[in-house]
Amino acid sequence: MSDKDHILVVDGMALLFRGFFATSFTGNFMHNSKGVPRNGLFGFLNYFTNSMETFQPTHVVCCWDMGSKTFRNELYDGYKSNRDAPPEELIPQFDLAKEIVTAFQVPNIGVTGFEADDCIGTLAKQLHKEHEVTVVTGDQDLLQLVDENINIAIMKKGQGNYDVFTADNFYEKKSLTPHQIIDLKGLMGDSSDNYPGIKGVGEKTAMKLLQQYETIDNMLADKENLTKGMQKKLEQYAEDLTISRKLAAIHTEVPLTFSMEEALFNKDLSTIHSYLQTELEFKNPGRWLDKLQESS
Report the C-alpha gap between 194 and 200 in whole angstroms.
Answer: 15
Q: Write down the pLDDT at residue 3.
A: 58
Give the sheet arrangement for strand 162-165, strand by strand.
108-109, 59-63, 6-11, 132-137, 150-155, 162-165
H-state helical runs in the chain: 12-24, 39-55, 71-75, 91-103, 116-127, 170-174, 180-188, 203-213, 216-221, 228-236, 238-248, 260-263, 270-278, 286-295
Report the C-alpha gap between 212 and 111 in whole angstroms.
Answer: 38
What's the average pLDDT block by block, 10 residues per block, for the chain (296 residues)? Answer: 80 95 82 91 96 96 89 79 83 95 96 95 96 96 97 90 97 96 94 86 94 95 93 93 93 95 91 93 94 76
Say which DSSP state 261 is in.
H
Q: What residue ranges define each of the domains in the chain, with the CATH number in brackets?
A: 6-174+251-290 (3.40.50.1010), 180-248 (1.10.150.20)
Q: Write down the pLDDT at residue 96.
A: 96
Strand partners, 6: 132
Could you tell me the end-to-end alpha-carbon distance of the chain, in angstroms, rounded to an integer?
A: 19
Which residues neighbour 103 within 8 Å (Cβ) at sequence distance 6 or greater?
Answer: 271, 272, 275, 276
Q: Write down the pLDDT at residue 296.
A: 58
